[in-house]
Each structure stands twice: as C-alpha cells, then as structure tokens.
Amino acid sequence: MVGTLVVSLQSGAADAPTDPGDDVVEVVSRLIRFDTTNTGEPETTQGEAECAQWVAEQLAEVGYAPQYVESGGPGRGNVIARLPGADSGRGALLIHGHLDVVPAEPTEWSVHPFSGAIKDGFVWGRGAVDMKDMVGMMIVVARQLKRAGIVPPRDLVFAFLADEEHGGTYGAQWLVDNRPELFDGVTEAIGEVGGFSLTVPRPDGTERRLYLIETAEKGLSWMRLTARGPAGHGSMVHDQNAVTAVAEAVARLGRHRFPLVLTDTVSQFLAAVSEETGFEFDVESPDVEGAIDKLGPTARMLKAVLYDTANPTMLKAGYKANVVPAIAEAVVDCRILPGRKEAFEAEIDELIGPDVTREWIRDFSSYETSFDGDLVDAMNAAL
C-alpha cells in the first residue's frame, strides 16, 4: 500500500549537491513534514498556513514578491508569485498546485506519513504523489529561473493553494471570487498531474517512457443516501428498518459494475500507446481490459478511466445498540465520465430502490477537450 504513495528519486538524483534534482528531493521531504491534513472541516484543517508561509520564504529568498493570502479563515494559507515575462500582453501561464493532503493513519504506514523520510531511493510520506512532489518541483524551478535571471516569453504565475482535497472552497474558489487580480492576464494553466508517467515495452525489446497530458477528467460527485423508517426497540420485529434499507442499497452499489465507455480521450491514448508498443487495442473488443493488462502495474489506474464508479465510503446510523433508528445514511464517492451524468443517475436510481432517497452534497462536472493547441504542442516538444 505504501508503495503507491511514494515518488521515485532515481531519475532526479545527481552527484552534485546543487543539482536541481537533489534540491527537489530536499524540498519535497520538507513539504511532507508539514502536516497539511485536510479533514473537510474548517475548524480542524489549519496546517496549510505554516506550509504556505515556508513556501513564501523560499520564493522571497531569491527575489520574488510572493503574496500570502488566507482564504476564508485562519490557517487556510495560499501563496501566489509572479515572474514577469518579456511580453505581458501575450497572456500569462498559471502553474498551480495544492498544499493540503488527505488524512493518514500512522499505524497503517511502515514509515510515518509526515516524516518525509528519504530511504531506499524514495521520498516517503503523505503527499509524495498527491501532490507535494509537483509542488517541490514548482518551487525549485521558480527559484532556478529567478537565480539565473531568466525572463520567460510571457508572465508565469505560480500558485500554491489550500483546500483542493475538499473541493477548493477555501482555496482556488475563494481566490477567484475574492482576489481575481492575482490571476490578471492568465489565459492558460498547468495543474495537477495528467495521471502518471509510465514505462511501456516496445517491439524491439527496449522500453519507452510516456508522459501523460490530461485533456479530460471525470466529474467528482459525493452523494448522500438516506433511508427513513419508524424508530423502535431492538427486541421487536421491524419490516421497515432504515439501516437495512441503506445497507442493501450500499451493497448493490458496491457490487455494481458500470458499462465500459471509451471517451475520445481514452481512444486517442490507446492509439498512441499501440503505436509505441505494437499492442493492439481493439476498441470494439469486449476484452479491452485484457489488452490494457499488458501495460503492467499501471493498468489498474488506467482501467479506472473506462468506467463510472460509485464507491460507498461512509455510513451513519443509530445512537444506541438496542434502538432501531428512524434514519440511516451513507455517503458514496461517485466519479462520472464525460457525457455520462444522465445515464449514471438513471442507473443509480434503479440500484438504490424506492425506499432510499439520494442527494448530491458536492457535484463537480466532468469535462473533455481536444488534444491540440499551442500549449499542447509546446508541452509535447518539451517532453
């Protein structure tokens, strides 16, 4: 489990202590040691401020004038810094990352999740992949540009944000609503990773490293299921038990496999991988999953883009062991492919049945765009 939560150092390490790769290792390790856990509750999520202030210090040290902004409450720290370019009228490029992480239970880790330990060629800890690795690279790149006196072709805006893990209400959304001037001139943005880079075998026996650029994203929706029934004593017969109704709905959802859907983005991706590997991905074949399995350990993540998902994550009911409660609730994490919202909801309604109601408690739409344009061309050329 821990192995999926680390970032490899192999490609970045170098002998010289001032090598940017070594700098990234140290910066990522330091970032992880800030406990920026986002619990989803404002009163218990305040670790971003200390981390953001440290980031601001790193940028100020080399000559930036970073702006530290608390967004919507104490402890929700954000940092924005701008590197002026040669042509301010060209449109600024925003490079952004988030400082918060999801909770981690130390007893479930072989290394403390907030140790930032460097061992066995890896940096260990919560956020090593999501996404203090990229934040570390952003800091090092920003510092290198300033130290070298490089003037980019256009303005670069570096943003280090709070509250991404709970939807951005106290981070990106707050800043856009309350401090839009921080993003003046921004026409394009590069954010969180487009998946993971992967190494694939080639027909000649060599390997090829592929770097992914995201052009589509599933919608993120959290759904609350509620069942109601008469409360009563546990010693009686109850034909309308709210706990039973919600449990049955949750079980049906948890076992359900939604239909395989190939979006344009996934079809283009499979075609590109096929060209590199020689593997045939027949999009009409019922065994597309089997073909993806040839790509090795990354296959599990790739399969997630073929289906909608609805995973029950939380249950709430009752207040005493011998009392049948009147209300039982569950929360379901839903990830919905572009163009699938209406069909997804119809399937959900059929699965949960008539005795359970549903409501969206958080609902972010999916999106998909074409894989073209000047920014995509520049990213491809750089890679």
State the Cα–Cα distance between residues 34 and 70, nearest whole angstrom: 17
C-alpha neighbours within 13 Å on the C-beta side of residue 195: 22
**Structure confidence at residue 3 (pLDDT):** 30
Angle at 162 between CA 159 and CA 167, to 5 degrees: 110
Question: What confidence tens digit (pLDDT) does each residue in 156-181 have?
Answer: 999 999 999 988 999 999 999 999 99
C-alpha neighbours within 13 Å on the C-beta side of residue 90: 15
Question: What confidence tens digit (pLDDT) does each residue in 41-80 have?
Answer: 888 888 899 999 999 999 999 999 999 999 988 889 999 9
Domains within the chain, CATH numbers bracketed? 20-192 (3.40.630.10), 217-368 (3.30.70.360)
State the Cα–Cα distance between residues 7 and 118, nearest whole angstrom: 10
Query: What SS3 class is residue 37?
Result: strand
214 Cβ contact list (under 8 Å, min separation 6): 193, 194, 195
Residue (of 62, 102, 58) closest to 79 by Cα position: 58
Residue (of 202, 268, 216, 225) closest to 358 by Cα position: 225
Give the phi and the psi of residue 286 in degrees, each rounded to 5: -70, -10
List the structure tokens of 335.
């990830």
Helices 242-255 and 341-352 cross at an angle (nearest 10°) of 130
Pairing of β 92-98 and β 219-228: unpaired
What pTM was estimated for this model as a whole? Answer: 0.78
**Structure confidence at residue 6 (pLDDT):** 37
* Helix ranges (DSSP H) in the chain: 20-33, 48-60, 132-147, 172-178, 242-255, 264-277, 288-292, 299-303, 341-352, 374-382
Cβ neighbours around 123 below 10 Å, total: 27
Dihedral through CA 346, CA 347, CA 348, CA 354, nearest 10? Answer: 80
Burial 276-290 (b: 16+ CB within 10 A, else e): ebebebeeeeeebee
**Structure confidence at residue 13 (pLDDT):** 36
Cβ neighbours around 340 below 10 Å, total: 19
List the structure tokens of 273.
């991988």
Question: What are the per-10-residue average pLDDT scores of the chain (383 residues)?
Answer: 33 47 93 95 86 98 97 90 94 96 95 96 94 96 96 97 92 96 95 75 85 89 96 90 96 95 89 82 71 76 90 96 96 97 97 96 91 86 85
Pairing of β 327-336 and β 232-233: unpaired
